[in-house]
Chain A
Amino acid sequence: MPSTQRTDRTRPEAARAHLVPDRAVPLLIVLLTVAVVLAAAVAIAVGTVPVPLGDVVAVTWAHLTPGDTERSLLYDQIVWDFRAPRVLLAGVAGAGLSIAGVCLQALVRNPLADPYLLGISGGASIGAALALSFVPAAIAGLGVSGAAFLGAVVSVALVVGLAQRAGRVAPGRLILAGVAVAYLGSAVTSYIQLQANPGELRGILFWVLGSVAAASWPDLPAPTAALLVCLLWLLVDGRRLNALTMGETSAAGLGIDVNRLRLGLLAVASLLTATIVSVAGGIGFVGLLVPHAVRLLVGPDHRRVIPVSLLLGAVFLILVDLLSRTLDRPNEMPIGIFTAVLGAPFFLWLLRSQSGAVR
């Protein structure tokens, strides 16, 4: 049966919706990798005491290679003890939150999903606020990070427990349970803030808005390990994520165990977010913005979205952290304020420049 009557073939070919053509994606990945290294070097060099880029490289080299090299002790302390862990944590947090955002947006197929969808920040802030204020003694053994991580784990368990029925996770219920737990968490945190003295209050506020200012080397292994493990799993499974975004039935028809994939995505997103939140607080907007920006850049294929999100998220947060500590020197601003202030206009510009994209 001829189909020409109804299929109007004279309509112009709709152009690819994304800005970077498929062929250029490997180049983009190379450029972003270079950008991560450059941004990290610059972020380590800039500060109250500027360190020449050459010395940044020299100190880093000295620490990464065995043998004793002659170097300035002042620069060594600034670069290696203060700035390097902070910059690296910003990079890992930016990358991890972006990936967690990609996972959760694919899981619930909702453009508003972000890493805090599962109520993680709510639970984590209760833990951190308690540790930072009137019951530090009770959870002294845990520290702020430990208490926050415990809170995060409890809230994820609560949300996933509420959202599952007979072992199957329903995305709609997941969103609602996450919202409820997040509100509960913020209510309890607000109450703790009201009871806290002004000094403690500032600490809690900084934590809630997210900050990498206090980063030290021991903060790094957990989120970095989580990031590497999750990345490995995700790069292998990018194709299945594509199928899942076409709908549950489509994915099941394509031979994908939908429930197992969803549980895997939940595990990945929770692990990444909990390990990051527990050391860096509730850095907002990155996990929402970066995945969308990346899809506008390279299209919806997760085999491209995941590596590009990882790199862009890292560059973005390293630079935002740099701004948050240089704009109002010597004061520090919480990083979470800047992610939104800088991210929102950029994101709106991207959105406007994409006339064809359906959002």
Chain B
Amino acid sequence: MRVMATGVSVTIDGTTILDDVSFTAADGRVTGLIGPNGSGKSTLLRCLYRIIRPQQGTVHIGDHDVWQVPARRAGQLRAVVAQDQELDNDYTVRDIVAMGRIPHQRLLERESTTDRTIVDEALVRARIEWAEGRRFVTLSGGERQRVLLARALAQNTPVLLLDEPTNHLDIGAQLELLELIRELGLTTVAALHDLDHAMSYCDAVVLLHHGRVVAADDPVTVLTPQRLADVFGVRGATTTHPLTGQPHLVFAAPCSEREISR
């Protein structure tokens, strides 16, 4: 199921955050939202979460306008792994993953055998099943992200939305999580800070700057040295990993004093 934004504009307290943004995330692909801080990545995702309602334009998942369907239906279409993990709670890992079944349960309906099976499978797919009885707060950052991913998987949605999922994780946990997300094969839209991650793990990227789409295409086409200079103010270049042969990005600050004095 594809994800589509059409002419989305958002203004908050007189400041334009998104200005006529349109993009399409293809079915079954990983699409990265990239751009500097304040470029509108998170706001665009929050439109899809049904937290910020665009003043203009629409966001669609498949044929469903996210803001026209009931909230619960939206919860059956897309799952969210967000940054706002609330730490002051005593839930166990299983409690939290079981919450993924909420959009599928009727009022007062108890957890069915099917629900329990789906939760079990989600725990396994996110490779966190060994911790199901543990309290969420006792886990490391990477483990917590996998719990939230498991909750999203228990939601059993065709679309997965991620807001900087690798934030605060060590490099090993970052790559492990990104590998896992790729293997899932879901239509994924992820706001990513790390451009090299976007290069390695996204099928397509949407580059945002000052609330507008600067470019949208496959990562190698979008992330040119010229755009990296214009949008991020850095000198970027593509290189090849000596061990894997894969393309990667390397960066330098725009002409340091050290270089000038040399």
Contacts and interface: CB of A to CB of B under 8 A. Distances in A.
Contacts of B51: 248-249, 252, 258
Interface string A107-142: 001010000000000000000000000000000000
B50 A252 contact: yes
B75 A249 contact: no
Contacts of A14: 134-135, 138
Interface in A280-302: 295, 299-301
A301 B95 contact: yes
Contacts of B234: none
A253 B130 contact: no
Contacts of B102: 239-240, 243, 254-256
A201 interface: no
Interface in B60-85: 71-76, 78-85
Contact residue range for chain A?
Answer: 35 or more
A65 interface: no
B87 to A, nearest CB: 7
Given A13-B134, A248-B84, A236 B107 contact: yes
A358 B88 CA distance: 7
A17 B90 contact: yes
Interface in B108-164: 108, 127, 130, 133-135, 137-138, 140, 142-143, 148, 152, 155, 161, 163
Interface stretch (A3-11, A181-189, A223-231): A3-11
Interface in A1-38: 1, 3, 5-7, 9, 13-14, 16-18
Interface residues of B, number: 55
A113 B155 CA distance: 31
Interface string A180-212: 000000000000000000000000000000000
A230 B216 CA distance: 50
A260 B130 CA distance: 36
B90 A295 contact: yes
A257 B74 CA distance: 10
A237 B108 CA distance: 8
A253 B82 contact: yes
A326 interface: no
Contact of A6 (B71, B103, B152, B172): B172
Interface of A: 1, 3, 5-7, 9, 13-14, 16-18, 109, 111, 235-237, 239-240, 242-243, 245-250, 252-258, 260, 295, 299-301, 356-359
15 contacts: A6-B140, A6-B173, A13-B133, A17-B135, A243-B99, A247-B82, A252-B80, A253-B80, A254-B99, A256-B72, A260-B71, A295-B90, A299-B90, A300-B91, A358-B137
**10 closest residue pairs by CB, A with B:** A255-B75, A253-B80, A255-B103, A249-B82, A257-B71, A247-B84, A255-B72, A247-B86, A252-B49, A300-B90
